[in-house]
Amino acid sequence: MGLLSKKDANLILDPLADNNPITIQVLGICSALAITAELKASVVMALSVVFVLGLGNVVISLMRNIIPSKIRIIVQLVVVATLVIIVDQVLKAFAYELSKTLAVFVGLIITNCIIMGRFEAFALGNGPWKSFLDGIGNALGYGVILIIVGFFRELLGSGSLFGIKVLGDPIARTGLYATGYENNGFMILPPAALIVVGLIIWVQRSRNQALIEEN
Amino acid sequence: MSENKLTLKKRLHEIKHRLKGKKIAPAFGAFHTFLYTPDETTHSGSHVRAADDLKRTMNMVILALLPVLLFSFFNTGYQHFAAIDAASGAPRTLDLFGNFLTWENFWLGFVQVMPLVIISYAVGLGVEFIFAIIKGHEVEEGYLVTGMLVPLIIPVDTPLWMLVVAVVFGVVIGKEVFGGTGMNILNPALTIRAFLFFAYPTWMSGDKVWVHGAVDRAGTPDAISGETVLGYLAQNNTFEYSTADMFFGFIPGSVGETSAFLILLGGLFMIFSKIASWRIMVSAVLGSLAMGLIFNWVVDLGWVGESSRFYGLMSFEYWKHLIAGGLAFGIVYMATDPVTGSQTHRGKWIYGFLIGFLSVMIRVFNPAYPEGVFLAILLMNVFAPTIDHYVIRANVKKRLKRFKTATVYPQATDDKAEQLKAETV
């Protein structure tokens, strides 16, 4: 990490693992449940959030000294909304089919708790460079979980990855399907995402006992 | 002979002592207590002297399930051959000793059903052993009943690998993550069925899965099929099974759910041996009758005509809901699970009533889920602690009221009331 000081590097690396926004802070669950049935949608959603949170954190950080604290939430909303509209329009222009799959959930990035949370907790009190790193880090932490969940849900639920039928054709019964294998319809349903996220949390906590809360 | 046995017993005891403190110890201990009574006793504290420990309770339920399992062997075979006869244009008429209780039927059913039982036990107990070793606690007997229930509530042709996946899911997600036997919120056997139902719906519904061989023969000249009673009704079709057939269980359906008669016997056995709660059973029956009556009235009043897609199930005589599908099995063996059901007496009445009520409601309003009973029980499993909470609160309130009217000093009452509240919350 010659580019970044250790402190700065931690801003990116921490949210990827030990301070993950989904598995540790349990934020942004709704979109993780809704759009992870396909890996492609997960990746696009992750990239969108990286863009919105990275840029948004910088903008808020630059404005942090001139935002009146009483109306800061409204200002934050305007910033997120602007960035989300950009993402939405880009998707509609260049990936129309995908934007239909993601439907309302791109718009709902505005209400993603991770974004407002980072604005409030970090960007309002730190400089633009650090805020940028923090935004990228948290968005990536969110994205990693989305991609893991999307990977398992699409592989087990539809037998494909990025729409490519990696396990064979379920109708012509080639590949794995020739042995009698069937796609698991449960993985397509939103509750499956909840269970996969739960399993990730389980694995993470059993690998790092320090994360387990005392009760 | 007896000397040999003694040495085996002794040897096992020795091995047990040698393994003490090692990781494998709980697993070996479980295996050991399964064969012999443990040689150690509690040295301190009070202990209750009662013969009906968890293992005994579980064995009683399994005993109540055995007639159902035995019947399912014959019925699986009978339905298979009856479907072949029907497809070839010569439908069978039932003759209990002539063509039902035959060796041929028994053997076919045995070969089809036993693998389900064996897989269910092997995988489920395997998962329990692994968790016991990881967590270092004793293996609990919780899976003994679940393992027997699972094969009885799924279609006979369920592929074995699906059962493996579902059992692993059900035991891990339905039970172990909550802390194992006694801590689970959902009935593990029903969790397994629900998983199968939502993961592999084509293997859990339709007219092909209820009779052995129907899936394999689909699309060939030998094609056979067997629709369940509820399946016929959901499509507003009529069926040829008599009420007696339905009551005694000579109909297609999940492996062990068909015979309401044997389930009734099992239920009575569990009531008289005080294993299962009669309150839950009775109230669940009342609940399903109530919902069935409401639907019958709606039809009688002419609000639902024959053209309605609900007509078939709504006009089904209210009491027949109990002998069709898995309602009877669910009420007797699943709703009465002491871990996931309500614990209070009044709570049991509410819990049971709503299970019956909702089962019939789901059956009628969502023909895609003719087996509404498993969804109803799972839903009420989730609500059972809430029901208990309010029953207990209501009781506390009632007693507080009585306490207030009986006492002379109002000041003291409030303090006492607060204290009581703090104790019970």
State whether B270 and B281 are in the same domain.
no
Give per-residue pLDDT as tens, B351-393.
999 999 999 999 888 877 777 889 999 999 999 999 999 999 9
- Cα distance from N-terminal residue to C-terminal residue, chain B: 60
Give per-residue pLDDT as tens, A67-102.
888 888 898 889 999 998 998 888 889 888 888 877
Q: How many CB atoms lie within 10 A of CB B392?
A: 16
B243, B274, B305: which is the final residue of a domain? B274
Closest residue to B198, CB basis, from A181, A182, A186: A186
Give per-residue pLDDT as tens, B18-70.
777 776 777 777 666 666 665 555 566 555 555 566 777 888 888 899 999 99
- Give the bridge partners for A161, in sequence order: A164
Contact yes or no for B107/B291 (Cβ under 8 A): no
Q: Please identify which residue in the block is written with the tokens 């009483």.
A: A70
| Section B188-196 average pLDDT | 92
Residue B42 lies in a domain: no
Give per-residue pLDDT as tens, A123-169.
888 888 888 988 888 888 888 898 999 999 998 888 888 888 888 77
Collapsing DSSP to helix, strand or coil, A164 comes out as: strand
pLDDT at B41: 58
Contact yes or no for B131/B156 (Cβ under 8 A): no
Torsions phi, psi for A164 (to 5 deg) = -90, 130
State whether B183 and B84 are in the same domain.
yes
State whether B65 and B148 are in the same domain.
yes
Our CA angle for B202, B66, B279, nearest 5°, is 85
Which range among A110-119, B86-95, B325-334 has the greatest average pLDDT?
B325-334
Q: For residue A32, name the pLDDT band (cuts at 50, 70, 90).
A: confident
State whether B11 and B86 are in the same domain.
no
Share of chain B above pLDDT 90, in %: 26
Whether pLDDT at B349 is above 90 = yes
Q: For residue B1, name the pLDDT band (cuts at 50, 70, 90).
A: very low
Say whether B177 and A195 touch across the interface (CB within 8 A): no
If phi > 0 it is left, if psi is from -120 to 50 it is alpha, else beta; for residue A155 that is: alpha
State whether B198 and B93 are in the same domain.
yes
d(CA A188, nearest CA chain B) in Å: 9
pLDDT at B380: 93
Number of domains in chain B: 3
Say whether A185 and B201 touch across the interface (CB within 8 A): yes
Share of chain A above pLDDT 90, in %: 5
d(CA B24, nearest CA chain A) in Å: 20
Domain of residue B19 covers: 2-35
Helix axis angle for A72-94 and A39-63, nearest 10°, is: 140
**Separation of alpha carbons B367 and B316, rounded Å:** 14
Residue numbers of B between 157 and 196 with CB closer than 8 Å to A: 159, 161-162, 165, 173, 177, 195
Say whether A186 and B161 touch across the interface (CB within 8 A): no
Sequential DSSP letters for A14-63 = GGGTTT-TTTTS--SHHHHHHSTTSHHHHHHHHHHHHHHHHHHHHHHHHH
Q: Closest chain B residue to A188 measured between Cα atoms? A: B199
Mean confidence (pLDDT) of chain B? 82
Say whether A186 and B195 touch across the interface (CB within 8 A): yes
* Amino acid sitting at position A10: N
For B353, half-sphere exposure in the C-beta direction (CA atoms, 13 angstrom radius) is 8
Contacts of B34 (CB under 8 A, 6+ apart): none
pLDDT at A191: 87
Whether pLDDT at B273 is above 70 = yes
Closest CA to B360 of B309, B324, B386, B335: B324
Domain definitions of chain A by residue range: 27-204
Q: For residue B290, name the pLDDT band (cuts at 50, 70, 90).
A: very high
State whether B203 and B265 are in the same domain.
yes
**Separation of alpha carbons B10 and B12, rounded Å:** 5
Q: Please identify which residue in the block is written with the tokens 């109803």.
A: B376
